[in-house]
Structure 1
């Protein structure tokens, strides 16, 4: 039986999706219907010990943010079908275990095509696609140094000399502990995956910081946290309310 999680903040759209899925495959088990980023993050954190669902259907734009924020925080080891009225998030969405991007209003036929694609992938790899996603999602060994650009020159920077990474004007920036700033030709998500076991934490979509670079934090409005980095960042560095508990836990255990 295929276990499915649905993330959709519009009740009529959610009801149509549930009805269509049950029509296409009565054996599907819908284990959760979630309506917000915060609710989804809590659900995945509370149920991680039960294993990932087999398939996730997620709208991109939710009432409290983008569903992409969910998968940046909890990273469920399951393939994801994005269902949305907006096409501008396609590339970023498909980088998050995405196997399909359905534009609303989609038909039951299109939904059926997605389920058949999932079944083909499942059969091709001989084990459940969720198990494959878990295998692919295992942390990689941390790099010992990264190549960064200082003008026209490439510099090999040891990981233990890096305070944090940031994104400014679409450019990924490496900030050393001595406050020197260099540029990287890589995305923050790619760097995060490589440094997952090196003491770094994804504070938000713009910042990835080492624990030693966090000099403190204070409460911000609506349950968020304002983080103070060293060397100082060029803008406010804010942890979202859904991510605040994970940030505190990470900092205490780092």
Structure 2
């Protein structure tokens, strides 16, 4: 019996994924449905690994590639996404197929057929060895220690340790250092989130990412949000209400 885990934050897309999966494999069991990276990490920690994961990339609480830095993932993954810019990362992280939205059933079925061919090729002991290799001996994730900012004056090399936070301004990601200087980056905020150490950096909302060492204090605000005061900065940041519980856990707060 095929055991599937679905990771998708948009209800219509989740419904379609569920329908396509059961249309292709009527006897399959959907063992879990997650809308956030944190939910998927908790599920994988508490349950046996599914046979296959069907996953979007941009989720409610960030980029699904964060998942691979938080928990050992031994299952193959079919990525179903509206973005074509994550292809390399997808195949570096257990990806066996990459399906672009809007999804047509023929595309989905082709990806599932690829999974079936791989599954048959690695049945029995070979499949167990593959799972052990993916889940237990995978190298520890490496995170960026330096970023590059291009400007008319030339290239600025930015040490990640010196940056207080990242902010989306007019659709462009900026790095802000401890002195308040802003540097334009070519990466998106989601790409930065996936490239930076999640133990040191936290996505507060859709437009801001903060470094732990830059936080001076937190102040409760309305609607279960928190105002983040930064060391040496008059600027404050605010967590979104759906990110506040995860922020509290990240900081070790009750």
Say yes or no: TM over 0.5: yes
Q: CA 1:129/1:93 → structure 2, altered by over 3 Å: closer, same or farther?
A: farther
1:159 and 1:93 mapped to 2: Cα distance? 22
Structure 1 segments, 4+ long, off by >6 Å, are 123-126, 133-137
* Equivalent residues of 1:5, 1:32 under 8 A apart: yes
User: Aligned-pair distance for 1:12?
Assistant: 6.5
Residue of structure 2 equivalent to 1:196: 197
Report the secondary structure of 2:205's partner residue.
coil
1:99-118 deviation digits (Å, cap 9, x = unpaired): 212525x33x4432120133
Residue of structure 2 equivalent to 1:9: 11
2:79 and 2:39 mapped to 1: Cα distance? 20
User: Aligned-pair distance for 1:31?
Assistant: 0.6
Residue of structure 2 equivalent to 1:63: none
2:114 and 2:60 mapped to 1: Cα distance? 22
1:100 and 1:133 mapped to 2: Cα distance? 24
Q: CA 1:123/1:191 → structure 2, altered by over 3 Å: closer, same or farther?
A: farther
Report the secondary structure of 2:23's partner residue.
helix
Question: Where do 5+ consecutive residues of structure 2 fail to align?
Answer: none
Q: CA 1:21/1:240 → structure 2, altered by over 3 Å: closer, same or farther?
A: farther
* Equivalent residues of 1:227, 1:238 under 8 A apart: yes
Q: CA 1:59/1:75 → structure 2, altered by over 3 Å: closer, same or farther?
A: closer
Question: Where do 5+ consecutive residues of structure 1 fail to align?
Answer: 61-65, 84-88
* Equivalent residues of 1:139, 1:193 under 8 A apart: no
1:141 and 1:73 mapped to 2: Cα distance? 12
Residue of structure 1 equivalent to 2:250: 250
TM-score normalised by length of structure 1: 0.67
Residue of structure 2 equivalent to 1:155: 156
* Equivalent residues of 1:54, 1:130 under 8 A apart: no
* Equivalent residues of 2:204, 2:247 under 8 A apart: yes
Over aligned residues, Cα RMSD in angstroms?
A: 4.1
Alignment of 1:1-254 (within 5 A): 2-6=2-6, 7=8, 9=11, 13=16, 16-23=19-26, 26=27, 28-33=28-33, 37=35, 41-42=38-39, 44-50=41-47, 52-57=49-54, 67=59, 69=61, 71-72=63-64, 75=67, 77=73, 79-82=77-80, 89-91=82-84, 99-103=98-102, 106-107=104-105, 109-120=106-117, 132=134, 138-143=140-145, 145-149=146-150, 151-196=152-197, 199-230=200-231, 231-233=233-235, 237-241=238-242, 243-252=243-252
Q: CA 1:30/1:223 → structure 2, altered by over 3 Å: closer, same or farther?
A: same
2:84 and 2:171 mapped to 1: Cα distance? 15
Paired residues in the alignment total: 232
* Equivalent residues of 1:79, 1:130 under 8 A apart: no
